[in-house]
Structure 1
Amino acid sequence: MMDANGDFLAVLFTDFHPREGKRSGAWMSSFKSQFIKNGADSRPHITIVMNFTRPTETKPALLTFDEVETFLHEFGHALHGMLAKSTYETLSGTSVYRDFVELPSQIMENWLVEKEYLDKFAFHYQTGEKMPAELVQKIINAANYNIGYLTFRQLSFGYLDMAWHTLEQPFDGDVREFEQKAMLPVKLLPVVPGTSMSTAFGHIFSGGYAAGYYSYKWAEVLDADAFAAFKENGIFDKKTAQSFRVNVLEKGNTEEPMALYKRFRGHEPTVDALLERNGVK
């Protein structure tokens, strides 16, 4: 990969289609992160892996909306890795706080419901027709269906996670009572008798999200607020993109995330842009 000046940025490996023995899902990885040693900038080797439907002899690989969204998400992580500009490998690229690492990936998803962006590539493969604005709006409306409930649901998980991981003494009480009390501030629906969220909450007990589940919703606040800068200045505005590159993508974990964000955005993130995107405000 080269930048606009013709300078070498990174090696990017792509693996887009399923095959026997390949893991399902999608992810970004770094074979070699960026670092500087003896004055030389050692550029990174990055990969993004997908499982897109393979083309056939009679039909190209027609990607679904979700597949393109997944690609943009993982490519955002890849950009974070490829544009890194740090001294130490352990502070480079995506080696940042868990509640900041999803900003570069999730912000990319915002472009996918912008007609100006879609018109550059989203054509019907047989007729060449551009994706109609009415269809784009239907996709947005479907994504925001039940958004109030889904928001409360995510918040309840974050409350429960923090309740467990702020205990200072061994717990020997009733698990169901504990979790119901923890989630009460954002309770929306009656509790189903005999159920227990905690016993199935693998994310916080075996999935690496202990005291960090809130980062899912926090990342939405960040990416919506950050994309609002592009909406204000134009979704293809180079000055805004360069600021995001220099102040966020290049810095890795060399400074506090909020300091980097404020340098890009000019202020701390607010929930307003997320509420507007969700159709709540």
Structure 2
Amino acid sequence: MSFLSFSARRDLREQVWRAWVSRGEQPGATDNRAIVAELLALRQQQAELLGYACYADYALADTMAGSRAAVQALLDQVWEPAKDAAAREAAEIEAQMQGCGHALQAWDWRYYAEQVRQTRYAVNAAELKAYFPLDAMVEALFDCADRLFGLRFELLPEAPSYHPDVKVYQVSDADGSPRGLFLHDNFARTGKRSGAWMNALRWQSRGMEGPGSHSLPIILNTNNFAKPAVGQPALLSFDEARTLFHEFGHGLHGLLSEVEFERLSGTQVLRDFVELPSQIFEHWLSVPEVLKRHARHWQSGEPISDEMLARLKAAERFNQGYDTVRYCASALVDLAAHGVHPTSITDISAFELEAMKAAGLPEAIGLNHRLCHFQHLFSGSSYAAGYYVYLWAEVLDCDAYEAFAALGDPFDPALAEKLRSCILSVGNSREPGQAFRDFRGRDPRVEPMLRERGLLPEPI
């Protein structure tokens, strides 16, 4: 991605792009086409043994969406606005390309989009990082958790942990009653898996050891931020700060659980519902009040400026049409591949191409993941016929957060308590659609997500 964004050598950008998108479909030891066909056939057999017409029907039966029709309806609602937004972005990029002597191609988009971004928004990543020291952002997490849910985090410096970098916190409710333990493992190190995730060393439950017993959760948040030199702060990019908030949202889902059985506790919910608590918590990172309090220059202590906040907000929405089209295209191909009988797919690459032509995918955009290297779908079954889940959860989180925005107070105590009691505390003990309706008073709507991503045209 970085090479495509910053290399001025168009010939090399094309070479890199073609090599990247053709992974897994070249003859030889790394040819995945036969493996993909075999997996699709085996999944079809599995679905038929369990009484389903196709694998997508089987995989979606135990989800919040419930059916291919529901997933398709969501993707249809987003697809056209995303393509329209991408067309507007393409016009900006083509204006930037004037005099280049060639048309916009897939290997050009990121390079010229980056030039537009620098021209229009001038967000200097290095300058911005100075306002997001890790320790201050952790304080922001705890401050938001306290103001929303009355949670207090007390560092236990002498508590044992599995690595010296891990910080252990005692978590308590506002009345001082214990809520659980929270472990924060933030730095990359040799042998540590990449990425960011939440897990539980112990899930919350009640009554498993006799009347009145209550098993308190031990929740782990893991990130892979660069560890700074001794005496220097760890400075985060805005995306890294968002990841910190995202995983802490999962952590709150585990800490605030109030269910009877461990198997229903915390984040052990349906896959297209699990990202709601994490993604809604990301919104508090962008609250000006939170940023003014915690996003301070690590040397001067000056709060982030209003002008920088405005540029940051504008840059967040830039190129969202492109990103959304790429994501939705992969979700559509996933649904299509698992929604037909595999005998109708004689060539997996040709099937993918035909599906994208039918949907009207612009050639200069492409997919996030092609079937021949789509690890989400084929390294395991968790996301098979389920790549849509991130978008589904984003519809939920944007609609849910809009309830706070409508009140004009991101820390409204009554609404925060409702979020806690209807969503965060119930785990999988309540049907997720009903849980959302209990909070919002209605079914979710897609328009808040479209507005948040900037996919709707600005009013004239």
Aligned residue for 2:271? 98
Task: Give the alignment partner of residue 256 of structure 1, picking from 419, 428, 431.
Answer: 431
The TM-score, its normalising length taken from structure 2, stands at 0.57
Task: Give the alignment partner of residue 272 of structure 1, picking from 425, 437, 447.
Answer: 447
- Residues 71-117 of structure 1, C-alpha deviation per residue, up to 9 Å, x if partnerless? 11110000111111111111111000100000110111112222111
Gap regions ≥5 residues in structure 1: none
Aligned residue for 1:76? 249
Question: How far apart in 2 are the matches of 1:26 and 1:169?
Answer: 35
Question: How far apart in 2 are the matches of 1:276 and 1:84?
Answer: 31
Question: How far apart in 1 are the matches of 2:337 and 2:216?
Answer: 41
Task: Give the alignment partner of residue 247 of structure 1, picking from 417, 422, 444.
Answer: 422
Corresponding residue SS for 1:11: strand
What is the letter of the counterpart of residue 196 of structure 2?
A
Percent identical among aligned pairs is: 42
Q: In the TM superposition, what are the counterparts of 1:23-172 in structure 2 within 5 Å?
A: 23-37=193-207, 38-39=210-211, 40-172=213-345
Distance 1:192 1:150, change over 3 A: closer
Gap regions ≥5 residues in structure 2: 1-170
Query: Alpha-carbon deviation of 1:152?
Result: 1.8
- Deviates most, 234-243 or 33-42: 33-42
Question: How far apart in 2 are the matches of 1:185 and 1:9?
Answer: 52
What is the letter of the counterpart of residue 348 of structure 2?
V
Is the counterpart of residue 8 in structure 1 residue 181 in structure 2? no
Aligned residue for 1:235? 410
Aligned residue for 2:145? none
What is the letter of the counterpart of residue 12 of structure 1?
F
Q: Which runs of 4+ in 1 moved over 4 A?
A: none
Aligned residues: 279
The TM-score, its normalising length taken from structure 1, stands at 0.92
Query: Alpha-carbon deviation of 1:143?
Result: 2.3
Distance 1:134 1:192, change over 3 A: closer
Q: In the TM superposition, what are the counterparts of 1:195-206 in structure 2 within 5 Å?
A: 197-206=370-379
Question: How far apart in 2 are the matches of 1:57 and 1:11?
Answer: 27
- Residues 28-75 of structure 1, C-alpha deviation per residue, up to 9 Å, x if partnerless? 111111111223221111111122333434432222222211111110
Query: Alpha-carbon deviation of 1:237?
Result: 1.1
Question: How far apart in 2 are the matches of 1:128 and 1:172?
Answer: 60
Corresponding residue SS for 1:225: helix
Question: How far apart in 2 are the matches of 1:163 and 1:188?
Answer: 14
Distance 1:140 1:172, change over 3 A: same
- Deviates most, 101-110 or 6-15: 6-15
Corresponding residue SS for 1:90: helix
- Residues 113-154 of structure 1, C-alpha deviation per residue, up to 9 Å, x if partnerless? 221111121111222211112222222222222212222221
What is the letter of the counterpart of residue 6 of structure 1?
G
- Residues 176-226 of structure 1, C-alpha deviation per residue, up to 9 Å, x if partnerless? 232123334543312899xx9211111112242001111111111111111
The answer to which structure has the higher helix fraction is: 2
Query: Alpha-carbon deviation of 1:227?
Result: 0.9
